[in-house]
Structure 1
Amino acid sequence: MKLYADRVPLASRQLITDLLVVLWIYLWVRVALGIHDLVEKLAVPGAKLESAGSGIADNLADAGGKVGRVPVVGDQLTKPFTGAADAARSIAEAGHQQQELVDKLALILPLMAIAVPLALVLFLWLPLRLRWIRRASVAAAVRDEPAGRDLLALRALASRPLGELTRLGPDIAQSWRNGDAAAVDALAELELRRLGLRPSRS
């Protein structure tokens, strides 16, 4: 598998681009983790609210239980404590719900932050990189074989701009059809140069 070009300018660009993509992903992961940590801090008031509400509810329920033992009027004295304990439990539940909401946001917001940068890498950069690796690997495997050079020459004839082809000679296509080895090698080298590969050793 050919990961990088043989020619220094293209190989340098490929290496620098790969490093920048890795750095890009790392920075966005750090941003996503930072967003997660920041959002999680919003859960602290909810946790305190839940803890305080639960504590007040328990204390009021305990006090209501003690007041309820008073003869004759105990039941009537318990009602305010029970109502206040229920209100405190509502406050605790509100704190719990706020924490759940913050937990969901702490998951969704970082994913949203990292989704677009990762999509750019996965759907733009990666397909182009894999396509070059596939083409360069095949070209490197066949460049030293006569039939392989002929295929590379055909590829150059089919894909290179006319200006590049005519610089090799006005009758380059006819020369290739006639099996002219020099024309085949010139066209094959043109395709190898486009991929950043060294010419054939033959």
Structure 2
Amino acid sequence: MKLYADRAPTAVRQVVTDVLVVVWVYLWIRVAIWIHDVVEKLAVPGQKLQDAGSGIAGNLADAGGKVGRVPVVGDDLTRPFAGAADAARSLAEAGRQQQELVGKLALILPLIALAAPLALVLFLWLPLRLRWIRRAAVARSVRDLPAGRDLLALRALASRPLGELARMGPDIAQSWRAGDAAAVDALAELELRRLGLRGSRR
């Protein structure tokens, strides 16, 4: 499997593009981590609220227990403490729920931030890169075979701009149809050059 072209301009372009893609992905991963850390900080108030609510509820419950031991009026005195303790537990629960929500956001928001950049890499850059690798492998395997060079010449005739083909001569297609070896070789070299590959070793 050949990852990079033989010819310097194409190979340099491929290497630079690959490096830029790696840097692009790395930067977006860093952005996602930063978003995660920032969102996680939003959980601190919820944690403090939960701790404070739990502490107050515990203290009120203890105080209510002690007041409840007062003879005759103990039960009546306990009710306000029990109600306040329940309210404090509600605050603690609200703090816990806020932390859960922040935890979910800390997972979802970084994934959303990464989705578009990674989609560009997976659905644009990677298919183009794999297609070049596949075409280069086929071209290298057939470039030294007469039939393979004929296929490369046909590919050049079918895909290269008309102006580029016209510069090779007004009857280049006729020469290829006639089996002119020089025309076939010139067209095959044109296709190999487009892929950034060296010519035949013949």
Q: What is the alpha-carbon root mean square deviation over aligned residues? A: 0.8
What whole-Å deviation, never above 9, does each CA across 1:20-69 have from its counterpart, x for those lacking one? 10000001000100110111011011001101101110111111111111
Structure 2: any 5+ residue segments left out of the alignment? none
Per the TM alignment, residue 84 of structure 1 is displaced from its structure 2 partner at its CA by 0.4
For normalisation by structure 1, the TM-score amounts to 0.98
Distance in 2 (alpha carbons) for counterparts of 1:96 and 1:51: 9
Distance in 1 (alpha carbons) for counterparts of 2:41 and 2:118: 26
* Matching of residue 164 in structure 1 with residue 164 in structure 2: yes
3-state SS of the aligned residue for 2:123? helix
Extract structure 1 runs of 4+ deviating beyond 4 A: none
What whole-Å deviation, never above 9, does each CA across 1:56-102 have from its counterpart, x for those lacking one? 10111111111111111010000000000000001101100110111
Identical-residue share of aligned pairs (%): 83
The within-5 A match list for 1:35-184 is: 35-184=35-184
* Matching of residue 188 in structure 1 with residue 182 in structure 2: no
3-state SS of the aligned residue for 1:13? helix
Distance in 2 (alpha carbons) for counterparts of 1:158 and 1:113: 42
What whole-Å deviation, never above 9, does each CA across 1:124-183 have from its counterpart, x for those lacking one? 111111111111111011111111101101111111111111211211111111111111
One-letter code aligned to 2:113: A
One-letter code aligned to 2:46: G
Distance in 2 (alpha carbons) for counterparts of 1:162 and 1:97: 67
* Matching of residue 198 in structure 1 with residue 198 in structure 2: yes
Q: 2:33: which partner in 1?
A: 33
